Amino acid sequence: MHMIGIPFGTTDWDQVERTEHAGERGVAHWRTRRFGDIRVRMIEYSAGYVSDHWCSKGHMLLCLEGELRTELDDGRIFVLTAGMSYQVADGAEPHRSSTAVGAKLFIVD
């Protein structure tokens, strides 16, 4: 990630349009900003959310609230709680997310 041409700015995430994305079960609400090739998102997963796909996109992800379960395609499972993060490169390890209790995430990709 190369950050250039981005002037200083602030984001009031409550003012960013919210879009809804259905999972295999549950729903995700995204608030998305773009800065050149960089996508920054605040995401809220409903309780019981299960992703409907495996993702190969790289991310820097911080769990702000709740609990996020991330499964890698090799069978490993990681559980993040508030204050924990993960990072993965593009194409490195396909992963998918779920949460029993809901989660709020901040993601840069």
In angstroms, rounded to a whole number, what is the distance separating the alpha carbons of residues 92 and 57? Answer: 8
- Taking the complete model, does pTM exceed 0.95, yes or no? no
Burial of 30 (0-12, 13-18, 19+ CB in 10 A): middle
Q: What is the pLDDT of residues 33-57, one digit of tens each?
A: 999 999 999 999 999 999 999 999 9
Report which of 40, 39, 42 is spatially closest to residue 30, judged by C-alpha positions: 42
The DSSP output letter for 74 is T
Q: What are phi and psi of 52, to 5 degrees?
A: -95, 10
What pLDDT does 1 receive? 65
Query: Is residue 24 very low, low, confident or very high in pLDDT (cuts 50, 70, 90)?
Result: very high
Each residue's pLDDT tens digit, 1-18: 678 889 999 999 999 999
> 29-33, 90-94, 103-107: lowest mean pLDDT where?
90-94
Q: Please, which residues have CB within 8 angstroms of residue 52's CB and are 6 or more apart in sequence?
A: 22, 23, 24
Domains and CATH numbers, the chain: 19-108 (2.60.120.10)
Identify whether the C-beta of residue 70 lies closer than 8 Å to the C-beta of residue 59.
Answer: no
Measuring CA to CA, which residue among 99, 19, 103, 104 is closest to residue 51? 99
